[in-house]
Amino acid sequence: MLFAVAPTVLVAEASGESAYILHDGVKVYSDNTLGTVIAELAVNTSVTVTGSEQIDGETYYILDYNGSVGYVRAAYVYYAEFYGAELNVRAAKCLADKVGGRINVYASPAEGAEVLYTLSDGVRVDVAECGSEEYYLLIRGDGNGYVKKSEVTEGLSRNQRVALAVTLISVVCVIGIFALIYVQRNKEYIAARKARRNALKKGTDLPE
């Protein structure tokens, strides 16, 4: 099932509202020491966020989990405006950092997440917002994943951009060559006319 998601949600605004887990296997910890795992949640599991806390430089949401307190990494949670509605999916293309490059598809929308597989530059994909400012949800028939927003585009792929640049350079070169030929022939024509005029003035034979 697909869900409508808000691109960004402040914890203060969402406190006490239901949120959903982004992927399978998200760990819930018993306290802010992150030493004891009390549960592993499946994708789209509904949870209630009651607050947030910074732990080792990362944001964790505090959950009301089965009547107890739980901690879960904020990057693995999204909020849905209308649970059960369809995602706003749009078509895009993979945008690698170099010609012939590939982009990573991650297991979760977080730095350092497991790389599930890679896709070639220019491959068409379906993406949707997932509550992350840096990642899109990648929707595929063989399983969903997450891609960096900077690595997909609705415009030209890297290969297409380079091909377009090469084409433009080629066109400019061809135009330049024809321009040089035109200038040279024009010079020859002007020189020939000048020679004919001089010959007529002197009464000599005209040059062939």
pLDDT for 141 equals: 64
**Does residue 176 surpass a pLDDT of 80?**
no
**Token digits for 21?**
């887990």
Task: Give pTM, 2 decimals.
Answer: 0.44
Say what percent of the chain tops pLDDT 90.
16
**pLDDT band at residue 187 under the 50/70/90 scheme:** confident
CATH architecture of the domain covering 90-153: Roll (2.30)
**Does residue 84 surpass a pLDDT of 50?**
no
pLDDT for 11 equals: 31
Domains 11-79 and 90-153 share a fold: yes
Rg of the chain over Cα atoms, rounded to whole angstroms, equals: 32
**Token digits for 77?**
């949670």
Of 47 and 188, which is predicted with more confidence? 47
Taking only the tens place, the pLDDT of each residue in 16-31 is 456 888 777 889 999 9
In terms of Cβ atoms closer than 10 Å to its own Cβ (0-12, 13-18, 19+), residue 33 is exposed
Enumerate the domain spans of the chain. 11-79, 90-153, 162-208
**Does residue 34 surpass a pLDDT of 90?**
yes
State the CATH class of domain 11-79: mainly beta
Taking only the tens place, the pLDDT of each residue in 143-168 is 678 899 999 988 665 655 666 666 77
Task: Tell me which H or E stretch contains 196.
Answer: helix 158-202
Say what percent of the chain tops pLDDT 70.
76
- Taking the C-alpha atoms of residue 184 and residue 179, their distance in angstroms, rounded to an integer, is 9
Helix, strand, coil percent content, the chain, rounded in steps of 5: 25, 35, 40
pLDDT for 161 equals: 62
Lowest mean pLDDT among 75-79, 165-169, 182-186: 165-169
